[in-house]
Amino acid sequence: MQAFSNGSGDTPDFQNPAAQTPGPMAFLPFSHSSFTMKRFVFPLLPIVAGLFPIALHAGELVLDHATAEIHGKADRELEKDCIGGWEDERTTVSWSIRVDKPGKVTVECLQAAEVRSAGNRYDILLGDRKVEGTVKDTGSWERFENVEAGTIELSKPGDYEIKIMPRPKKTLAVMNLRGLRLKGDAFTAVENVPVSLRKGAYFAKKTCTPEPLPEYASSKRLLPEPVIDGEPGYVEMYWKSWELAFKHIRKAEPEKNGFVSNYLDEAFNPNIFQWDTIFMVMFARYGHQAFPAVQSFDNFYCKQHTDGFICREIWETTGKDHHATTSPQAINPPLFSWGEMESFRVTGDKSRFALVLPVLEKYVEWLETGRRKTGTVHGLYWSNGLGSGMDNTPRQGSGWVDMSSQMVLQYHDLAAMCRELGQGAKAGKFDKRAAEIAALINRWMWDEKDGLYYDIDDQGKPVKWKTSGCFWPMLAGITSPAQEARLIANLKDPQTFWRKNVFPTLAADQPGYDGSGGYWRGGVWAPTNYAILRGLARQGHGDFAREAAKRHLDELQAVFRDTGTLWELYAPDMPRPGTGPGGLKENHQAQPDFVGWTGCGPISMLIENILGFEVNGARQSLAWKLTRTDRHGIRNLRFGPVEASLVCEPRKSAEEPARIQIVTNRPFALQLDRNGQKKEVKVESGTSVIEL
């Protein structure tokens, strides 16, 4: 069965659906005033087959709004952590419970209301018994208090429905409802959560194995060590990024939030974010031997709804969704499968695929209906500012380039997972769907005149905003060489994207562009930059990707010299951190110490674009494009079971032969490329020298 506790402060965490106990366990009241619980272990009654119990308490049962069924018109306001918008007194709220030990039960309602709703009356029905409650003025719709409604005596064990039924109200809303508490000296009961509200059903990891958090000082020796004599500032930023990342590793607290794995935190607020977490894995995968960052996804997977929905933002304090399923802002770019595959390419460990594939299959099933608008001519996928991660972008339309391209990427990565698991038929179906979406993107979204992919409206007409979202089709692998040439021409245009710092998320020739950042109206951000560079490299434009990465890292380095840290975003036209939506006039500015996804620049771009390495842990192979003339390379690079150090000696010019010293614990395949001259070598264990 599952065991639960409350959240922090005076507000109870009634629902905590991912924590699993190793044996019989329950929570007893420790402080009634704050609903704090203390855990005790004692024999429990057996669970009835077919039930899905959420909590069993000796003496009390707490029922949270998140597991209530709403019959009528009211809103589950997750940001306020309550049922609100309850203006129709015909609307009722109910829970299903199983009473194991009956007796006298005191019923309390955790409610909030302003003076105009004070005095509203309601009945609480428990089986054929009833108590009458009165709404109390708590001074605010967001200030919740426990209000006792009365006492009911139950004489028989069994299944019961408990329902709140408003009487005709005076005015405005009935109340804001956070939950009920039932308590009695001998009373024990189980809540039976409706199937539609259960979470984590497709993710087999149900418990959290306590593990100590790694520390930077003791873990540094496990991290790759870049060698680049000509850019000591890059190395300084690299190590600072890792130092900050280790400070932001958090412990799972299953009794509080139901999380099942320790995780990387985005260093923004007390929530975890899908968009941020995926891009943190893009750099942290290179340190997987110190901390397996991909397990950060687990805390989203264990909160998946039965219909496949995964909320983009989850409270760390309670483990609850921050947005309702019906909110248009409830999901982020669907890139979990990309993150899983990119991690696999470093670690070579495919053991997660069988664990996560059921989750991601159900997730993509939800997206097919949850993010495709009916009645459009194009049949593509929509998003919005917060949903896309580009909060204050001016974009509109019912078909979004990035969202649709991300679906292609997702299907291809699901197919790749299936092939690794020997599920060829299923892989073929995923690849087929990816090809169908790709064809629609190129049919409806490509603008031959402008050389860009644009978002589109219901009729397939372009909504012409030049943003970083225009370039996702390259990463999805659906562009032709001719299209790539046009896209790159836009990226190289100093009037649009080739600014002092590249690449602004809104082109400089667009209305509302802010050269100081303006958040997503010009700001230079790690996730979109990394996606663009990976797309360029994927489509064979590594030289331009390296040029752009250097321009970006040089600007990060200039700000780093002035401030000593990394930032949430950067200004495209000024050597400074980026500004918020109000620009330079607003107090809201970029967050400092943001690693966070900003680690993609100093870590991933340095390893991949500047130094030129591409790893394949599963195949135990390494590709290295040699373009530099200073002493450069990397030590302690781990890919699969291989731990290798490769350093190229300094040269007078790029045309001179390269001499490389290699130390490795295992054999691996090395593909070298120097000015188009290529060489494949089987590197044996130990020390060796290779010339090209």
Average pLDDT, the chain: 91
* Region for 40 from its dihedrals, namely left if φ exceeds 0, alpha if ψ lies in -120 to 50, beta otherwise: beta
Return the pLDDT at 4: 30
Identity (one letter) of the amino acid at 358? P
Q: What is the pLDDT of residues 542-597, one digit of tens each?
A: 999 999 999 999 999 999 999 999 999 999 999 999 999 999 988 878 999 999 99
Q: Pick one of 3.40.50.1100, 3.40.50.740, 2.60.120.260, 2.40.50.140 as the CATH number of 26-197.
A: 2.60.120.260
With 80 as the cut, is the pLDDT of residue 27 above it?
Answer: no
Return the pLDDT at 385: 97
Give the gyration radius of the chain's Cα atoms: 28
669 bridge partner residues: 621, 682
Average pLDDT over residues 476-484: 99
Average pLDDT over residues 136-156: 95
Q: How confident is the model at residue 185 (pLDDT cuts 50, 70, 90)?
A: confident
Return the pLDDT at 148: 96
Q: Give me the torsion for CA of 633, 638, 642, 646, rounded to 10°.
A: 10
Q: What is the pLDDT of residues 393-403, one digit of tens each?
A: 999 999 999 99
Return the pLDDT at 642: 98
With 50 as the cut, is the pLDDT of residue 26 above it?
Answer: no
d(Cα 30, Cα 524) in Å, to the nearest integer?
A: 50
With 70 as the cut, is the pLDDT of residue 252 above it?
Answer: yes
With 60 as the cut, is the pLDDT of residue 538 above it?
Answer: yes
For 159, how many CA atoms within 13 A lie in the half-sphere containing its CB? 10
Task: Find, among 389, 425, 388, the residue nearest to 403 by Cα.
Answer: 388
With 60 as the cut, is the pLDDT of residue 47 above it?
Answer: no
Entry pTM: 0.83
Return the pLDDT at 267: 82
Instruction: Count Cβ atoms below 10 Å from residue 588 Cβ, excluding itself.
Output: 11
Q: What is the pLDDT of residues 191-222, one digit of tens each?
A: 988 877 789 999 999 999 999 999 999 999 99
Q: Are strands 668-674 and 621-626 parallel, antiparallel or unpaired?
A: parallel
Average pLDDT over residues 348-359: 97
d(Cα 445, Cα 57) in Å, to the nearest integer?
A: 56
With 70 as the cut, is the pLDDT of residue 19 above it?
Answer: no
77 bridge partner residues: 82
- Specify the range with the lowest mean pLDDT, choosing from 27-31, 56-60, 442-446: 27-31
d(Cα 643, Cα 665) in Å, to the nearest integer?
A: 6
With 50 as the cut, is the pLDDT of residue 89 above it?
Answer: yes
With 90 as the cut, is the pLDDT of residue 658 above it?
Answer: yes
Pick the residue with more confidence: 59 or 281? 281
Average pLDDT over residues 15-27: 33
Task: Find, among 124, 163, 119, 161, the residue nearest to 137 by Cα.
Answer: 119
176 bridge partner residues: 112
How deeply is 629 buried, as exposed, middle or buried, from its count of CB atoms within 10 A (0-12, 13-18, 19+)? middle
Q: Which residues contact 687 (CB under 8 A, 6 or more apart)?
A: 661, 662, 663
DSSP string, 213-252: PP-HHHHGGGS-EEEETT-HHHHHHHHHHHHHHHHTEE--
With 60 as the cut, is the pLDDT of residue 349 above it?
Answer: yes
| Greatest pairwise CA separation for the chain in angstroms | 92
- Angle at CA of residue 671, ends 471 and 220, nearest 5°: 80
Q: What is the pLDDT of residues 52-80, one digit of tens each?
A: 444 444 578 999 998 999 999 999 887 78
For 523, how many CA atoms within 13 A lie in the half-sphere containing its CB? 30
Average pLDDT over residues 267-296: 96
3-state secondary structure of 384: coil
| Cα end-to-end distance, the chain, whole Å | 62
Return the pLDDT at 58: 52
Are 530 and 555 within 8 A, CB to CB?
Answer: no
d(Cα 296, Cα 265) in Å, to the nearest integer?
A: 9
Are 603 and 238 within 8 A, CB to CB?
Answer: yes
**Cis? peptide before 596, omega within 30° of 0:** yes
Q: What is the pLDDT of residues 360-386, one digit of tens each?
A: 999 999 999 999 999 999 999 999 999
Lookup: tokens for 332: 């982020």
With 80 as the cut, is the pLDDT of residue 273 above it?
Answer: yes
Are 403 and 371 within 8 A, CB to CB?
Answer: yes
Domain edges within the chain? 26-197, 199-336, 616-691
d(Cα 602, Cα 498) in Å, to the nearest integer?
A: 20
Buried b (16+ CB within 10 A) or exposed e, 169-186: beeebbbbbbbbbbbbee
Q: How far is CA 150 from CA 31, 63, 82, 107, 518, in A?
A: 20, 16, 22, 6, 54
Task: Give percent of the chain with pLDDT exceeding 90.
Answer: 85
d(Cα 498, Cα 485) in Å, to the nearest integer?
A: 15
Q: How confident is the model at residue 25 (pLDDT cuts 50, 70, 90)?
A: very low
Q: What is the pLDDT of residues 122-134, one digit of tens each?
A: 999 999 999 999 9
- Specify the range with the lowest mean pLDDT, choosing from 146-150, 169-173, 525-529, 628-632: 169-173
Return the pLDDT at 77: 86
With 90 as the cut, is the pLDDT of residue 534 above it?
Answer: yes
d(Cα 220, Cα 382) in Å, to the nearest integer?
A: 42
Q: What is the pLDDT of residues 594-630, one digit of tens each?
A: 999 999 999 999 999 999 999 999 999 999 999 999 9
With 60 as the cut, is the pLDDT of residue 260 above it?
Answer: yes
